[in-house]
Amino acid sequence: MVNGRNVERRTILKAAGATAATLGLAATTGCGGDGGASADGTVTIRYAWWGAEDRAQRINKTIALFEKKYPKIKVKTDFQPYLDFWKKFNTQASGGNPPDVFQNAIGFLRKYDAKNVLLDLSEQAKAGNLRMEGFRAGLEKFGEIDGKLLGVPVGSNSMALVIDKPVYARAGVKPEQGWTWDDYHAAMKKIREKTGRAGDTGPYNVMYLYDLYLRQNGKAFFTEDGLGFTEADLTDWWTKAKKGVEDGSYANQKKVAQIKPKSAVAGELAGGEFTWDNFTVRYTSEGKSEYGLAPIPTTDGKKTGQYLGSLMLSASKRTQHPKEVAQFIDFMVHDPEVAKIMGYDRGVPATQAQYDAYKPTDEVNKAIAAYEESLVEAGVLEPITPHPNGADVCEAAFLRIGEEVGLGKRSVDEAVKQFFTESKTALGS
């Protein structure tokens, strides 16, 4: 799952300078996997993901464990920053040469299923090569689309409000589960008055936050075949965001842009911002303060609209080694040692076995685990909104156009019309 504001930050901060050569990774060529088996029965599968040096080092350690357990299966690796990954993958898929197994996200399942790229892993599960039990609550059916198993979750995350804890303390603001948007907006003004800092970075282009707001009000960003909201809805959202900047509740968007890739929270322009819970560690590395997680505000004091998001592992329909690919996925999502190596790099481990195997000792990751446990205990989690074919294009448009509104490059009315024009084209509606 991808948050637009943070895609850029994590690709720049963590991807800068990472190369296959410096990490000692096996180079992946334009040709496919080995096709068959070698003389001794060894097969080779290709595995690709987005990320950078730290994730690559962790993943390669897990691959070493896998190859030790399955000496007849070798794994070639390839990784890219997020945007570069999908450019390369799209080229490979269009050419009929996607990797055998790859990191995936909910916004791409229907897109590449429609292009006949994704392998339905159901048969491998039935054959016993891939276990689909033991997943944490909210993730059991995450990768199932239209009756097909197109992805297997590796970790979970959920939207949260990341806050600068000392700033909130100085302002006397204590967010609690069930607080309303009225409470939130009052808190933003109080932070501004008491600390001189904007309360929040601003919600212009945080698509998944807008999705939660819509879900709280009986709608959703996506339906199975299109957008689940109107131009009037989006006009209201962006108009309120603009007013928030004008009254100082939200940060000046030009200043936010100037300090990128650092976040406005770590850059001390805002007291908090909405993002995925497992990104908290990035704020700690960027800033000098202490950061924490606060609940999502609600419309009625009860419904947050939240769901667990997840990165997934998917397989290519063209793979010549479906059994071995399934065994690889099974190992990566169930083996306890993998969790100890990966930690929360891709979110909180998706299976209970891996969740139990990795117990964070640092305060940041402890807070992430506690936050997700609190969502289960509060009973606020719901099924994720379906993502239609073309959802990834809509998300990119929301990110870009929302930022343009914040920077004053487009009026709200112009931006809304542009977003709906691009989305209707992408969704074929």
* Per-domain residue ranges of the chain: 4-156+309-358, 159-306+384-427
Q: Provide the angle, in degrees to the nearest 10, between the axes of the packed helices 391-406 and 4-15.
A: 90
Q: How far apart are CA 286 and CA 37, in angstroms?
A: 47
The class level of CATH for 159-306+384-427 reads: alpha beta
8 A C-beta contact, residue 23 and residue 56: yes
Residue of 272, 263, 258 lying closest to 195 (CA atoms): 272
Q: Residue 10 above 60 pLDDT?
A: no
Q: Which residues contact 91 (CB under 8 A, 6 or more apart)?
A: none
Q: pTM for the full model?
A: 0.82
Q: Are strands 101-104 and 43-50 parallel, antiparallel or unpaired?
A: parallel
Residue 276: Cβ within 10 Å count:
21
Length of the chain: 429
Distances (CA, A) of 99 to 44, 49, 116, 320, 428: 11, 10, 14, 11, 28
Give the range among 67-71, 307-311, 415-419 with minimum mean pLDDT: 307-311
Q: How large a percentage of the chain has pLDDT more than 70?
A: 91
Topology match between the domains 4-156+309-358 and 159-306+384-427: yes
What CATH number matches the domain at 4-156+309-358, 3.40.920.10, 3.40.190.10, 3.40.50.300, 1.10.286.10?
Answer: 3.40.190.10
| Tens digits of residue pLDDT in 73-120 | 999 999 998 889 999 999 999 999 999 999 999 989 999 999 999 999
Between residues 84 and 14, the one the model is more confident about: 84
Q: What is the pLDDT of residues 164-220, one digit of tens each?
A: 999 999 999 999 999 999 999 999 999 999 999 999 999 999 999 999 999 999 999
Report which residue type is found at 406.
G
pLDDT at 280 over 90: no
